[in-house]
Every structure is written in structure tokens, then in C-alpha cells.
Amino acid sequence: MNILVINAGSSSIKYQLIDMKTELPLSSGIVERIGLEKGLIKHKTFINGSEEKTVEEFPIPDHGVGLKRVAELLMDKKVGVINDPSEIKAVGHRLVHGAETFTETVEITNEVKAKVKELFPLAPLHNPANLIGVEVAEKVFPNAKQVGVFDTAFHQSIPEKAFRYALPEKFYSELRIRKYGFHGTSHKFISEKAIEYLGNPDAKIVTIHLGNGASMAAVKGGVCVDTTMGMGPLSGLIMGTRSGDIDPAIIFYLAQQKGYSVQEISDLLNKESGMKGLTGLTDMRDVEKRQSEGDSVAILALEMYAYRVKQYIGSYAAAMNGVDAIVFTAGIGENDTSVRQMVCEDMDYLGITWNEEKDKNRKDGVHEINVDGAKVKVLIIPTNEELEIAKQSLSLIE
């Protein structure tokens, strides 16, 4: 059975067609610059272990034109992998914010779409684009079931003592202001892989998703009990352009004393802070290059970055009354040896260690980088959000 996974953004569509018999991609790609003068499609086909790339540049005025061309490429005589759209049994959509309305994967109906629209204020940059992807896919693949997988769903098991903020009751009961958390699909995927590797269904795991956006989760026995992001994706760790945790008094100071508008503060904290604010750079590789050259600004930024991760490891070890494994994933988590080393240093009190030789000699799949005999396993597990969305979609339609 083939399942197409779609992650629609405001000006892009990421996609992957997965053969669920093998759980391997048949094709993947991205449609970029939708609505601009020149659109771009980067398409990959995987056949018999080889990879064929197709790049096309042409006007893509809307998501419909882009996805229609993707369907044509999937059926193309040269680079196609299917003969007819009916071979795609389901389209799994990444939907960012499900609030308390959606706690699990759902088949997308008109009622579901209406409720997703109601949640637009909670994720104004993501949910509207996600819904456009759904509506376009309904037209391009009319015979496929449309399935919604929500970033927030995995975190809906967080207990009230952890998801509530210390605000007057009405702000929760009337406005549903609370912690929701994000990157749930990734945290679910890697925590399940870690539990399988450990052979312990009751394992206490700290999952560490480090990319341009970054978050952590405390997962006890396969159930999420806390996470670093909150009502929106701004809180928690230091990120590429987002500040992570700050004192709310800073907002009042900027507004009242310096005349910043609400939008200016939002742009500052979401787009101009984090590593960009500290160093002027958003790519961790560039920051580390400067660090290696002795740049004091880069050195401090990386120390702050690692310190925040260490803080949350300690917090979650306390929340779960122990930790059996910590897991690094996503772009930085999977590929940055220096960050992993900085996070694991001076954590021996908790039983967390780091072995340089193991870290340098990576292998595919789950990779262990702690010293032999360590109390806590330190793992690198590549995330695969597309496969997790496809698996959840398959489970639903079956």
C-alpha cells in the first residue's frame, strides 16, 4: 500500500510517497516559492537502490498547481513510481496545532476541517497552510482517504499539573491557554524506537529534538509527561531564530519603556533571537566554525545552548524520578558531535556519559554513544516524521 505524506507550508509543499510494505520512500521532494514569479520543484525517485533527481523551475501560482505537477511526476513514464493516482490509498497530512480538540490521528472530514479553522488563532503561520494542503490533495487525489496527524497530539497525555499555567482559572476554562507542545510526531517516533532498543516498555526517556526549531520531551512508559514548548513553539530551548525561555518582564519593559509594538516584540522573539540574536548566524555549523577560531561570542552562544538542554534533562529526570536514556535527534541532534559532547559533559551525577570514539564511528539506526556500562543510555536516533505520519495514517484506515 502506498501512502503520500504532505507537509504544506505557506509557500511550500514537502512530500514523500512511502511503500508501507517496506516502509521505504518511493519518491520525495519539495515544491518551493509558491506564489512567486518563479516556482521550484525538487523531486527525487528511489528505484532499485538508485536515486534520480528532477528539478523544474516554472511559475507556481498556488498550491493546486504545485501538487498537480507532483502527481504528474509520480506517474511520469521516466521518473514515475505509480501508474494511476488510485494507487495512493491515503494522504497523511502534518497538521501543526490540534489543541485539546484533536488528541489522536483522524480521517479528515468537513467537520474536522471546520474545527481546524477554529484553531487558526493558535497557529496562524501553520494551520491555514496545512489546511490548504488538505483541500488541494482532496482534488488531486479524490479516491484517497485524507488523514490528519497533529504535532500536538502526542503531548495531550501531559498531566494538568504540568500543562497548566499559574493564571486565573478563566484563562484556561474560557480561552484554553495551556501548554500544548510541538514536534510530537518526532518525539513519538524516536521514543518508541528507544523503548524497542532498550527492551523496556516502562523506560523513562528524555527525547531531544534539535533542529532550527528545537524541543524536548519527558516520556515515561511511552507516554509524554512534559515538553519544553508551550502554547506556541517559542518557549523552551534556544533555537535558530527563537529565544526560548525568557523572563516575561522583558516584554513589558520593551513595550512600556522602549515603545515596541506587540508585532515588533513577536518578530524579535520569533525571528531575530536565538542563535541569530546571539551571533548573527542561524546555521550551527557556522557558529561552530567561529567557535573553533576562538570567537568569544560564538563560544558563549554554544555554552548557553547546551546549558539550556542540560537544565531540562535535570528537570525531566526529577519529573520522572529517574532517566533510563536520553535521545538526540533531528538535524543538529543527529549530526553535531560538539553539541552532544557539551550537553553530556559534567552530567555523571545523573549517570550520563559520552564516548568520543563511539560518537565518531556512527552506524545506521539507533546508535549508542555512552561509555560502556553507563547507568543511562545516550542514543542517537534519526527521526522520520514522514514515516510516522504514514504509519499512523495506515493504522487509521485499516
Binding residues for substrate: 94
Q: Which of 79, 70, 16, 25 is nearest to 49 (CA)?
A: 25
Number of H-type helices and E-type strands within the chain: 15, 14
CB atoms near residue 89 (< 10 Å): 18
**Rounded-to-10 torsion of CA 191, 196, 201, 206:** -30
Query: Pairing between strand 325-329 and 204-210?
Result: parallel
- Binding site as annotated, residues for Mg(2+): 7, 385
116 contacts 107 by C-beta, under 8 angstroms = no
- Rounded CA-CA distance 138/70 in Å is 14
Query: What are the grid coordinates assigned to 4, written together?
Result: 503520500
Q: What is the DSSP string of 127-188?
A: HHHHHHHHHHHHHHSTTSEEEEEETTGGGGGS-HHHH--SS-THHHHTT--S---S-HHHHH
Catalytic residues: 151
* Separation in Å, CA 292 to CA 186, 240, 256, 297, 298: 31, 19, 40, 12, 9
Say which residues have a Cβ less than 8 Å from residue 12's Cβ, sequence separation at least 6: 30, 31, 32, 33, 34
Say which residues have a Cβ less than 8 Å from residue 307's Cβ, sequence separation at least 6: none
Give the CA radius of gyration of the chain.
Answer: 22
- Binding site as annotated, residues for ATP: 14, 209-213, 283-285, 331-335
- Binding site as annotated, residues: 7, 14, 94, 209-213, 283-285, 331-335, 385
Place of cell 516502562: 202
Backbone angles phi, psi at 10, to 5 degrees: -65, -30
